[in-house]
Amino acid sequence: MSNKTMQKMQPKKEAMPKVRWISLVVAVVVLVSLPFWGGDYIVNIFTLILMYMAIGEMWNLLAGYAGLVSLGAQAFIGLGGYSLAMISQVFKLPFLLGFLLAAVVSVVFALIISFPIFNMKDVYFTIGTWLVAEALCVFFQTWGFVNYNVGYNITVARRLSSTSVYFIAFGVGLIALLAVVFILRSKFGLGLMAMRDNEAASEIRGVKLYKSKLICFLISSAITGVAGAALYLNLAYIKPTVGFGIDWTVSMVFITVIGGMGTIEGPIIGSIIFVILRQLLYNFSGFSMLILGVIAVVMILVAPKGIMGLINNKTGFDLFGVKRKVKISDFAGIDAASAE
Amino acid sequence: MNTILSVKDLGIAFGGNKVLDSINFTVGEGEVLGIMGPNGAGKTVLLNIISGILKADHGEIIFQGENILKEKITERTAKGIGRTFQVPRAFEHMSVYENILASVVYGQRVSEKEARKKALEILELVKLDDRANEPAGKLRLINRKRLEIGAALASDPKLLLLDEVAGGLTSAEVAEILDIVKTIKAKGVSIIWIEHIIKTLMEGTDRIMLMAGGKDLITDTPQEVMKSSIVNEVYMGADEDD
């Protein structure tokens, strides 16, 4: 390898890991210690940010990487919320089992609906997922076992302190984030990133599209279900029209679009902006979704890849180290082998 | 020379319009078969059928003694068919290295660890080692073409399908691509190369097949094909009597 090549590759190597590690350590220290120095309001805000980040990451995993733009993610939020309600209110079991049930029910439901909806392409898939969620909502409204349209008060939520709910949200957020980081750092993730950039080309290079999409769908559904349980632990009341309401997916889309689709950092940034905006617009409930919609449209026009896309383009910033880099020493090994 | 690919009576129609009409040809092991012909001749459609993107209406594709006509795209890649696209299809947000790495991992069905060395070798072969960490989306055309060839090589193909890899390049850049193709040929890889630059095909191929209107009109050595009056007919619209 030439000296010119070595000079080109050298500078990028050193600086980024330091920034990455400092950012991650600061974030973890702040989040873990937050309940001990932050007031109730701040803790509640971060509880929401962590939960929305979790569902944003899962929607992003589907739409941003697997190319599956779903408008039916609320089905899993509702299933998660109802799993928590049934476990704690009907079966009177420890509420944490509701999280386990949420994951299991969501995966089973995702697997069942995957057969018809995976035969739908592009916009038909999007419409299909939405219809499935709507059908589920109607079904729950007429199902006596889940108390029809009346729903449930989730009383366990009132017995928990805001700190307990915060740490549950922290756990769910961490699971969602680590799941995406782990996936993207794996061989499977390499294929997903290829799919994200060019589906047809990735298939020619050997990526099995159906299998990859199905795995993504199942993982995303399971964690969205768990996040749904956490969200309803915070909201303390669930009924079909709210649990399976499309507002959930609209939030996920906003978070991902604003933050940056197809990046891990995007939903983190998006969820912070989303929750803060929702708080600022609290007194304008009739207009809040309209204003969020306008912001999303402007953002798409100005920065189609979201805030993280802009940052990534300009700096190559990669907080979670999912990018594979070549070191000079790697080429030296190849050169030496060739020389022999 | 043993035959690696044998195409028999291959045909496809789009809405009643015959795009390929009973194509027959063979490719030998280590041979470079050039394909030339005017726009609409069916050249890219032919590569799309061989690589599995399109399904033929009839015919056979015998690759290493096995009819692969019903095999999925990914299976054909795994069996040893690599291809480039006319307009390079890089994974834009991934680095050059990641593009090749992903293609090795999935093309050869190996672990990422096993794929690293092979990916670095390919980067050196296509002369992209100095751009390994750059985003593929920011490459200029010649480097995108190099990356496209590298990604196609990543599955360790026995047969490489090149679709106008020299198109849109300067003559100096075309010479670079020709060098890379010659290096690949020297490794024993069979190649089908669609190209509009006749001079490059003359220099870089063992035989040329001329296509027009979805038919294979003549297949012979480059010199014999260029001597043929059919070439004039196809490109200039001239009859033999003119």
Which CATH number goes with the domain that contains A329?
1.10.3470
Question: In chain A, what residues touch B135 (CB-CB under 8 Å)?
Answer: 316
Number of separate domains in chain B: 1
The torsion angles phi and psi of B13, rounded to 5 degrees, stand at: -130, 140
Residue B116 is assigned to a structural domain of this protein = yes
Residue A241 CB: number of other CB atoms within 10 A?
13
pLDDT band at residue A322 under the 50/70/90 scheme? confident
Domain of residue A59: give its range: 3-339
- Read off the pLDDT of residues A283-301 as tens digits, 9 standing for 90 and up: 887 788 888 889 989 988 9
Does pLDDT of A13 surpass 60? no
Question: Residue A318: which pLDDT band, with cuts at 50, 70 and 90?
Answer: confident
With the CA atoms of A252, A258, A260 and A266 taken in that order, what torsion angle do they form, in degrees rounded to the nearest 10?
-70
ipTM: 0.92
Distance CA B235, CA B40 (A): 12
B42 occurs within a structural domain: no
A→B interface, C-beta within 8 Å? 1-2, 4-5, 8-9, 12, 187, 190-191, 193-194, 196-198, 200-208, 262, 312, 316, 323-326, 330-331, 333-334, 338
Task: Tell me the β-bridge partners of B83.
Answer: B161
The C-alpha atoms of residue B20 and residue B61 are separated, in whole angstroms, by 14
Q: How far is B104 from chain A (nearest CA, A)?
A: 8
Q: How far is A7 from chain B (nearest CA, A)?
A: 9
Q: Show residues of chain A in contact with B78, CB under 8 Å.
A: 206
Asked whether residue B136 is assigned to any structural domain, the reply reads yes
| A12 pLDDT higher than 50 | no
Give the DSSP H or E segment for B47.
helix B43-51
Domain coverage including residue B146? 86-156
What is the reported pLDDT for A11? 44
Give the separation between CA A128 and CA A221, rounded to whole angstroms.
Answer: 15
Domain count, chain A: 1
Any residues with CB less than 8 A from the CB of A57 and at least 6 apart, and which? A176, A177, A179, A180, A223, A264, A267, A268
Q: CB-CB: which of B83, B120, B154 is closest to A334?
A: B120
Give the separation between CA A159 and CA A95, rounded to whole angstroms.
Answer: 11
Residue A13 C-alpha from the chain's centroid = 29
Cβ contact (<8 Å) for B151 and A205?
A: yes
Answer whether residue B128 is part of any domain: yes
Amino acid at A319: L
Residue B101 is assigned to a structural domain of this protein = yes
Say what the pTM is. 0.89
Mean local confidence (pLDDT), B159-171 = 96
Q: Is residue B117 part of a domain?
A: yes
Contacts of B15 (CB under 8 A, 6+ apart): none
Lowest mean pLDDT among A16-30, A31-45, B86-100, B106-120: A16-30
